[in-house]
Amino acid sequence: DQQVKQNSPSLSVQEGRISILNCDYTNSMFDYFLWYKKYPAEGPTFLISISSIKDKNEDGRFTVFLNKSAKHLSLHIVPSQPGDSAVYFCAASVPGFQKLVFGTGTRLLVSP
Amino acid sequence: EAGVAQSPRYKIIEKRQSVAFWCNPISGHATLYWYQQILGQGPKLLIQFQNNGVVDDSQLPKDRFSAERLKGVDSTLKIQPAKLEDSAVYLCASSLRGLSNEQFFGPGTRLTVL
């Protein structure tokens, strides 16, 4: 039962353009959504999050949008940089348990 | 501030053997998590500790996996005996207040079971 899905295993974007990574979920009880970034041989690092009561959160080049009716969220990176090349995981928080449910990840490649 | 430390970084064993992983969380972090990440999948929570007590171990295969966190600091995760499907990266994370958006991950231990 995959409650958090990232249907695109990979994405290629040119430097300076926008990267859009998508995530869908099935459990309407999730109260927090997070994006993690992972480089090879390193653990995931927290990037940005959004509460289920909001529809947008912005932090520098990174913006996360949440559409609760569609159970969909997206991460926008503008402008994309080669250093953004990594695997991005979407995660959702189970209320009351403080545990994360992760998606399968999307590998982003930003070419110069 | 030192991050989450894990050792070993890599381990290769044969099926039916035993293996143990060690995690040292960020100083002062009360909550500690062990995740299993199989190739091509996202991390899956195995067990969560609050200090030295277990908060959630619902997805831990208890017939072969065990974990402990003595004195509420370091933690070890053991697999005995290992199966081929246990090949994965085992990630340890810690959190100061147990909030889901404040988990800091270690580099992981890559386990290969032959």
Q: How far is CA A97 from the centre of its chain?
A: 21
For residue B102, the model assigns a pLDDT of 76
For residue A1, the model assigns a pLDDT of 61
Name residues of chain A where pLDDT drops below 50.
Answer: none
For residue B62, the model assigns a pLDDT of 94
For residue B100, the model assigns a pLDDT of 60
Whole-angstrom distance, CA of residue B47 vs CA of residue B56: 6
Domains of chain A: 4-111 (2.60.40.10)
Residue among A99, A102, A104 with most chain B CBs within 10 A, to mutate: A99
Pairing of the two strands A106-111 and A99-102: unpaired
Q: For A11-33, what is each residue's pLDDT tens digit?
A: 999 999 999 999 999 999 998 99
Nearest chain B alpha carbon to A93: B100
For residue A39, the model assigns a pLDDT of 94
Nearest chain A alpha carbon to B32: A99
Tokens coding A81:
């940089």
Q: Does B94 touch chain A (CB under 8 A)?
A: no
Would the CB atoms of A46 and B103 count as touching at under 8 Å? yes
For residue B49, the model assigns a pLDDT of 92
* CATH superfamily, with its number, for domain B5-10+18-96: Immunoglobulins (2.60.40.10)
Nearest chain A alpha carbon to B110: A41
Residues of A in contact with B48 (CB under 8 A): 98-99
Residue pairs between chains A and B whose CB atoms are closer than 8 Å: 64
For residue B98, the model assigns a pLDDT of 65
For residue A79, the model assigns a pLDDT of 97
* Tally of CB atoms within 10 A around A3: 15
For residue A99, the model assigns a pLDDT of 80
For residues B20, B43, A50, B26, the Cα torsion angle rounded to the nearest 10 degrees is 10
* Tally of CB atoms within 10 A around B41: 14
pLDDT, one tens digit for every residue, chain B (114 residues) = 689 999 999 999 999 999 999 999 999 898 999 999 999 899 999 999 988 899 889 999 999 999 999 888 999 999 999 999 999 999 999 988 766 667 899 999 999 999
Are A30 and A52 spatial neighbours (Cβ–Cβ below 8 Å)? yes
Would the CB atoms of A44 and B31 count as touching at under 8 Å? no
Whole-angstrom distance, CA of residue B69 vs CA of residue B27: 14
Nearest in space to B23 (alpha carbons), one of B113, B112, B114, B109: B109
Q: Does B28 touch chain A (CB under 8 A)?
A: no
Whole-angstrom distance, CA of residue B25 vs CA of residue B4: 5
